[in-house]
């Protein structure tokens, strides 16, 4: 680690030295010849060299020349290049003419190779920093992609600095995380979620975020999403689920010193909350509870304004119903401040940025703070040698993140269980004089004890960096050599003090996760035009080394409130594990373009993985793609058609497995016999020495059409992929002494359509309206597992599980069904309780196959307004919250029948039958006690499966840029103020009490809701200035 830091710092200091080199200076301005508008980003090169600069935001430039350098070449995409003699000039004005033939978009593709977008034979999408916007990035920058890229599903997790689940073109692997590889400035980074809400044995915990949650959104210049196999094949086995390329900001684009500053505040407001019935009070059998701490369900008397002392504390009060959900959770506040300082000349540039994020959560004593320091620069060391380097340090501290899922410390779970006739404010007196909790039930449950006494804090220190050297031997041949590091140190400290409900004896532990991933690569690049052919070839290699260490030390059963720490308890526990993995690779690409309208690309890569058997650790995967721009051929096309391209690709991508899957693992216990340590077999998996890589084969075809000078366009793509020889652990008989066996088995197929439309209804000098629509459909099927294995379980909670089942889409929700007779009537017992069918059944699917987004941007003079509406369709969600509310008598639907039953008139919901031993059904006509009927419904999963489809107003942004007339005489170059809102309102949904998008885990087990705190509605304002 020290070596990497020294290398990075040395490189950055070298750039600082080069930045201040002086020479004869020529300055000037570059404008559009049509309207005299300044042109930012124009390349200004010294003729005969590769040295140069680019114009700033106002089209200005400064460049140093040596003796004998008397000509400058100006070039810009969409404009004809121009050479200017500056022998006797120190200040010039240059005007560039539009060249329609040169108008094309350059995008960043695999390995950081810049390509013309028109030449690509596969689908990719690029989103710049302006399109990402400010909304939704408080928790994770990836949330800002929601609804903006076709085929990309984003599932956010509530809370600042939390993970985000991103899936591109469907789930492709059974046992992996199905998330894409993230590459920042050419270097892959770790995006591991170290702690997730579904990780613990009871499926409840905090979410400590992932690799993307610690990235400062203000440092991002753009994102490129690579979707198909041909787009991702060059990244090897880790790219089987797609790739997201992130380019960060640098000092390029300016020939002077400058400063960027912005500060803003966002407010998180509680979203959808359950609707409690407010007509009946706490109790049982229609009466007040005789034991208020044991009888906390809402099956008591009708609320009529009566007084009662049947509460946990015995205080007499007027019986009332309270809205505890909205009153308990407060408005979370997040302050974001960012400062960027940069300096550049024609040979060098450097940028330093600092970001501070300070969040106060939606409950007291819940905070998240993140400080980010980023330094990046590049310089030309020699005429043929350039250096690029970056180092980023992140420190984030979280205190008492809100726990999720089935955790006993889940605040929303506590509010669901709290009787509606108890005001949560009464519970603020949460502790007795002798320091014990005072709660509302027989476990003394009290959210304020959790809030003020329980400690759950984590701190992450992260260092990422890279150094690259580029040797430009000629104008068509260069060599890139690069190395990068991603180091993470996460420590979590947890204290459940003495007397804590469910942990009455006390518990404390400290968990530490250390990881360091190194990626080094080289790439030899050739690009030359020969007559009518554009020839590009690349050859390179890479080496990835990933090492992780995990430790967990703690104890339980404390003896004193004054001595509570991980070593203070009488029962000690500890765990330690290590993880090491390496992949070596070589790869190559070749591209041939003919007359700018016909392109053919081929690539090949071979990986050698340390986690596979030595005779099976090499896997080769090729790709081929082609594009035909038929609108640019020498034939007549209609004037209204501005562009037309047909593309196709085919590729294979492989994947390996986790370390230590090939042989038994052993560990030593902390005691010995006759001086010899006692050992044991570690883990519950049977290893497999014959594992081979999983291979995914895919193909794609697409059509891109644009009309009326690009005022209207659409892109459509069809893709199909099949991943075989999946590596997974299948359940086996525990009589073997193990729980799972690691095997090659299974096949998952994905196919689908992606559509993108863009339309500019209005384009005038002072007003424009741009519209972008994207839509996608993914059809997924688990084709097979292995003989004798009927399912592969992804997650299980509360009697409901999410599974991969042959013949079904990935993510089948499995649970119980009601027993019915041949006519569909519910079978009940003698008391009217609904009966279950034997076994478990498929009751839904947690993956949404359809998705769409509609974004509009309107600009009027200095005012810009945009909004995004998006939706997902066809998936299901199981609500544990709804089931709990049925059982507790809190659900509004449990009111039906109470008036009749408690008045003595009797109640029967109808369509109930008894079935005798011979299978004969007879109508059940007896009166049914709602307190027995509804809890029996609560125990049957199928009644709480809901259509999770929705349409949402996702995002609104309004920006005003102050005119030059207001700031022209100040040091401020650009000044703007932005108001934004995220996750505003559902325009349509099929769930009443829950958020259909909520999830307590970012892993594969999607489709289960367990007292989730919904994604908050976020409102904010930001002030931005450039100096």
Task: Report the relative pairing of strands 1017-1026 and 1008-1009 from DSSP bridges.
Answer: unpaired
Q: Which CATH number applies to 22-102: 1.10.1060.10, 2.60.40.1120, 3.40.50.970, 3.30.565.10?
A: 2.60.40.1120
Arithmetic mean of pLDDT, 970-991: 92
Lowest mean pLDDT among 307-311, 590-594, 789-793, 945-949: 789-793
* 670 pLDDT tier (thresholds 50, 70, 90): low
Contact 823, 920 (CB under 8 A): no
Query: What does pLDDT average to over the chain?
Result: 88
Summarised one tens digit per residue, pLDDT across range 683-695 is 778 888 888 888 8
Q: Distances in Å between the alpha carbon of 171 and those of 166, 459, 711?
A: 10, 32, 35
Summarised one tens digit per residue, pLDDT across range 210-235 is 888 888 888 888 888 888 777 777 88
Arithmetic mean of pLDDT, 382-386: 91
The token pair that represents 543 in the structure block: 């080496």
Arithmetic mean of pLDDT, 447-453: 96
3-class state of residue 845 by DSSP = strand
Question: Which pLDDT score is estimated for 125?
Answer: 83
Other C-beta atoms closer than 10 Å to the C-beta of 330 total 15
Estimate the crossing angle of helix 930-938 against helix 880-888, to 10 degrees: 160
What secondary structure letter does DSSP report for 820? B
Does 133 have pLDDT greater than 80? no
Does 669 have pLDDT greater than 90? no
Question: Which pLDDT score is estimated for 210?
Answer: 83
First to last CA, the chain: 36
Question: Which pLDDT score is estimated for 306?
Answer: 95
- Selection from 842, 1014, 876 nearest residue 948 by Cα: 876
Task: Report the relative pairing of strands 598-609 and 317-318 from DSSP bridges.
Answer: unpaired
Q: Which CATH number applies to 205-270+331-409+454-811+846-875+949-1026: 3.30.70.260, 2.40.170.20, 3.30.465.10, 3.40.190.10?
A: 2.40.170.20
Equal fold, 22-102 vs 205-270+331-409+454-811+846-875+949-1026: no
Does 734 have pLDDT greater than 80? no
The token pair that represents 676 in the structure block: 């010899």
Question: Which pLDDT score is estimated for 254?
Answer: 64
Dihedral sign of CA atoms 931, 933, 936, 940 in order: negative
Summarised one tens digit per residue, pLDDT across range 547-599 is 999 999 999 999 999 999 999 999 999 888 898 999 999 999 999 999 989 99
The residue with greater pLDDT, 43 or 481, is 481
* 701 pLDDT tier (thresholds 50, 70, 90): very high
Dihedral sign of CA atoms 1006, 1007, 1010, 1015 in order: positive
List beta partners, residue 915. 921
Dihedral sign of CA atoms 16, 20, 26, 27 in order: positive
* 526 pLDDT tier (thresholds 50, 70, 90): very high
HSE-up (13 A, CA, CB side) for residue 571: 6
Summarised one tens digit per residue, pLDDT across range 815-865 is 999 999 999 999 999 999 999 999 999 999 999 999 999 999 999 999 999
Report the Cα 314 to chain-centroid distance in Å: 48
Question: Which pLDDT score is estimated for 150?
Answer: 86
Contact 798, 1010 (CB under 8 A): yes
Does 541 have pLDDT greater than 90? yes
Question: Which pLDDT score is estimated for 41?
Answer: 78
Does 54 have pLDDT greater than 50? yes
Question: Which pLDDT score is estimated for 177?
Answer: 79
List beta partners, residue 763. 768
CA–CA gap between residue 383 and residue 471 (Å, rounded): 9
Task: Parse the chain into domains and list their residue ranges.
Answer: 22-102, 205-270+331-409+454-811+846-875+949-1026
Q: Distances in Å between the alpha carbon of 342 and those of 388, 479, 741?
A: 15, 27, 55
Question: Which pLDDT score is estimated for 239?
Answer: 81
The residue with greater pLDDT, 265 or 408, is 265
Question: Which pLDDT score is estimated for 630?
Answer: 92
Q: Estimate the share of the chain in helix, then strand, then coil, as percent rounded to the nearest 5.
A: 10, 50, 40
Contact 360, 1016 (CB under 8 A): no
Dihedral sign of CA atoms 432, 436, 439, 443 in order: negative
Does 545 have pLDDT greater than 70? yes
Q: What is the per-residue DSSP string for 243-309?
A: EEEEEE--STT-SS-EEEEEEEEEEEE------B--SB-SBBTTB--SSTTT--SB-S-B-SS-EE-
Question: Which pLDDT score is estimated for 103?
Answer: 46
Question: Which pLDDT score is estimated for 341?
Answer: 93
CA–CA gap between residue 617 and residue 461 (Å, rounded): 34
Question: Which pLDDT score is estimated for 215?
Answer: 85
Contact 334, 318 (CB under 8 A): no
CA–CA gap between residue 869 and residue 855 (Å, rounded): 6
The token pair that represents 989 in the structure block: 């949904």
CA–CA gap between residue 194 and residue 618 (Å, rounded): 29
Does 156 have pLDDT greater than 60? yes
Arithmetic mean of pLDDT, 390-414: 90
> What's the pTM value of the predicted model, to 2 decimals?
0.86
| Main-chain phi, psi angles of 966, to 5 degrees | -90, -30
Other C-beta atoms closer than 10 Å to the C-beta of 188 total 22
Q: What is the per-residue DSSP string for 106-127?
A: EEE-GGG-EEEGGG-SS-EEEE
Summarised one tens digit per residue, pLDDT across range 888-944 is 999 999 999 999 999 999 999 999 999 998 889 999 999 999 999 999 999 999 999
- Contacting residues for 601 by C-beta, under 8 A, at least 6 apart: 121, 230, 589, 590, 591, 623, 624, 625, 626
CA–CA gap between residue 552 and residue 577 (Å, rounded): 9
CA–CA gap between residue 44 and residue 288 (Å, rounded): 83
Other C-beta atoms closer than 10 Å to the C-beta of 760 total 17
Does 389 have pLDDT greater than 60? yes
Question: Which pLDDT score is estimated for 950?
Answer: 96
- Selection from 133, 4, 13 nearest residue 375 by Cα: 13
Question: Which pLDDT score is estimated for 957?
Answer: 94
Question: Which pLDDT score is estimated for 22?
Answer: 46
CA–CA gap between residue 74 and residue 92 (Å, rounded): 12
Buried b (16+ CB within 10 A) or exposed e, 823-840: eebbbbeeebbbbbeeeb
Does 465 have pLDDT greater than 90? yes
Does 674 have pLDDT greater than 80? no
């Amino acid at each position: 680690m020290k070596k990497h830091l020294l290398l990075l710092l040395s490189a950055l200091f070298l750039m600082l030295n080069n930045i201040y080199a002086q020479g004869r200076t020529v300055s000037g301005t570059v404008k559009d010849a049509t309207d005299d508008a300044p042109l930012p980003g124009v390349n200004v090169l010294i003729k005969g060299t590769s040295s140069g600069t680019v114009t700033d935001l106002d089209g200005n430039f400064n460049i140093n020349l040596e003796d004998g350098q008397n000509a400058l070449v100006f070039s810009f995409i969409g404009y004809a290049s121009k050479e200017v003699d500056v022998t006797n000039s120190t200040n010039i004005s240059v005007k560039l003419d539009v060249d329609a033939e040169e108008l094309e978009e350059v995008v960043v593709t695999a390995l950081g190779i810049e390509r013309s977008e028109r030449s690509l034979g596969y689908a990719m999408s690029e989103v710049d920093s302006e399109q990402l916007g400010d909304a939704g990035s408080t928790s994770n920058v990836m949330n800002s992609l929601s609804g903006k890229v076709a085929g990309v599903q984003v599932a956010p997790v509530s809370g600042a600095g939390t993970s985000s689940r991103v899936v591109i073109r469907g789930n492709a692997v059974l046992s992996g995380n199905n998330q894409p590889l993230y590459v920042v400035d050419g270097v892959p980074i770790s995006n591991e979620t170290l702690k997730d809400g579904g990780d613990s044995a009871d499926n409840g915990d905090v979410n400590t975020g992932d690799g993307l949650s610690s990235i400062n959104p203000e440092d991002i210049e753009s994102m490129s999403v690579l979707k198909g196999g041909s787009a991702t094949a060059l990244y090897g086995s880790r790219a089987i689920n797609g790739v997201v390329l992130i380019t960060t900001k640098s000092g390029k684009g300016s020939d002077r010193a400058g400063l960027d500053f912005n500060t803003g505040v966002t407010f998180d407001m509680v979203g959808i909350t359950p609707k409690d019935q407010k007509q009946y009070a706490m109790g049982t059998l229609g009466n007040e509870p005789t034991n208020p701490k044991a009888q906390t369900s809402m099956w008591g008397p009708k609320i009529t304004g009566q007084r009662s002392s049947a509460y946990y504390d015995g205080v007499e009060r007027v019986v009332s119903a309270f809205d505890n959900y909205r009153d308990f959770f407060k408005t979370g506040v997040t302050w974001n401040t960012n400062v960027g300082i940069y300096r550049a000349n024609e040979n060098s540039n450097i940028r330093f940025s600092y970001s501070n994020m300070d969040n106060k959560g939606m409950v007291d004593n819940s905070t998240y703070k993140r400080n980010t320091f980023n330094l990046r620069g590049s310089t030309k060391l020699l005429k043929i040698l350039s250096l690029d380097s970056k180092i980023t340090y992140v420190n984030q501290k979280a205190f008492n993140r809100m726990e999720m899922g089935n955790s006993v410390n889940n605040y929303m779970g506590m509010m669901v269980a709290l009787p509606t006739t108890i005001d949560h404010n009464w519970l603020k007196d949460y502790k007795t004089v002798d320091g014990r909790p005072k709660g509302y039930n027989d476990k003394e449950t009290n959210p304020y004890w959790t809030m003020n006494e329980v400690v759950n804090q984590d701190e992450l220190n992260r260092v990422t960096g890279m150094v690259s050297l580029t040797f430009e031997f000629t104008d068509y041949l260069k060599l890139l050599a690069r190395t990068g590091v991603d180091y993470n140190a996460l420590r979590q400290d947890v204290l459940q003090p003495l007397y804590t409900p469910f942990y009455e004896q006390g518990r404390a532990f400290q968990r530490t996760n250390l990881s360091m991933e190194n990626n080094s690569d080289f790439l030899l690049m050739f690009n030359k035009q020969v007559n009518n052919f554009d020839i590009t070839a690349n050859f390179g290699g890479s080496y990835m080394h990933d090492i992780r260490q995990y430790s967990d030390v703690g104890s339980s059963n404390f003896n004193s409130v004054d001595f509570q720490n991980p070593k203070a308890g009488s029962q000690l526990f500890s765990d330690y594990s290590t993880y090491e993995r390496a992949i070596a690779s070589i790869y190559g690409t070749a591209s041939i373009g003919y007359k700018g309208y016909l392109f053919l690309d081929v690539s090949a890569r071979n990986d050698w993985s340390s986690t596979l058997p030595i005779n099976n650790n090499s896997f080769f995967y090729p790709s081929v793609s082609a594009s035909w721009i038929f609108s640019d051929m020498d034939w007549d096309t209609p004037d209204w058609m501005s562009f037309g391209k047909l593309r196709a690709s085919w590729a294979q991508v492989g994947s390996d497995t986790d370390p230590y899957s090939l042989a038994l693992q052993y560990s030593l216990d902390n005691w010995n016999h006759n001086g010899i340590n006692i050992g044991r077999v570690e883990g519950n998996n049977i290893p497999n020495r014959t594992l081979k890589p999983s291979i995914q084969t895919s193909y794609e075809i697409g059509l891109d059409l644009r009309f009326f000078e690009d005022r209207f366009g659409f892109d459509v793509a069809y893709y199909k992929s099949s991943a075989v020889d999946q590596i997974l652990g299948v359940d086996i008989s525990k009589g073997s002494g193990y729980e799972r066996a690691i095997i090659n088995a299974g096949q998952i197929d994905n196919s689908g359509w992606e559509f993108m439309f863009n339309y500019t209804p209005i384009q005038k000098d002072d007003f424009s309206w741009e519209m972008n629509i994207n839509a996608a459909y993914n059809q997924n099927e688990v084709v097979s597992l292995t003989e004798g294995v009927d399912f592969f379980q992804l997650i299980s909670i509360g009697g409901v599980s999410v599974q991969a089942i042959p013949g079904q889409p990935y993510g089948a929700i499995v649970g119980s069904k009601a027993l019915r007779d041949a006519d569909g009537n519910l079978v009940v017992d003698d008391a009217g309780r609904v009966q279950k069918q034997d076994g478990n059944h498929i009751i839904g699917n947690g993956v949404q196959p359809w998705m769409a987004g509609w974004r509009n941007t309107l600009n009027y003079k200095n005012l810009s307004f945009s909004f995004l509406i998006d939706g997902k369709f066809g998936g299901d969600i199981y609500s544990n919250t709804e089931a709990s509310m049925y059982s507790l008598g809190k659900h509004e639907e449990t009111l039906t029948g109470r008036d009749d039953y408690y008045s003595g008139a009797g109640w029967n919901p109808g369509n109930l039958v008894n079935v005798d031993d011979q299978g004969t059904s007879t109508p059940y006509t007896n009166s049914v006690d709602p307190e027995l009927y509804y809890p029996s419904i609560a125990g049957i999963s199928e009644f709480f499966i809901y259509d999770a489809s929705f349409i949402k107003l996702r995002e609104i942004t309004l920006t005003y840029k102050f005119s030059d007339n207001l700031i022209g005489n100040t040091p401020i170059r650009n000044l703007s103020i932005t108001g934004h809102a995220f996750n505003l309102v559902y325009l349509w949904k099929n769930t009443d009490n829950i958020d259909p998008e909520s999830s307590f885990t970012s892993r594969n087990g999607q489709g289960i809701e367990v007292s989730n705190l919904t994604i908050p509605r976020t409102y904010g304002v930001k002030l931005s200035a450039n100096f």
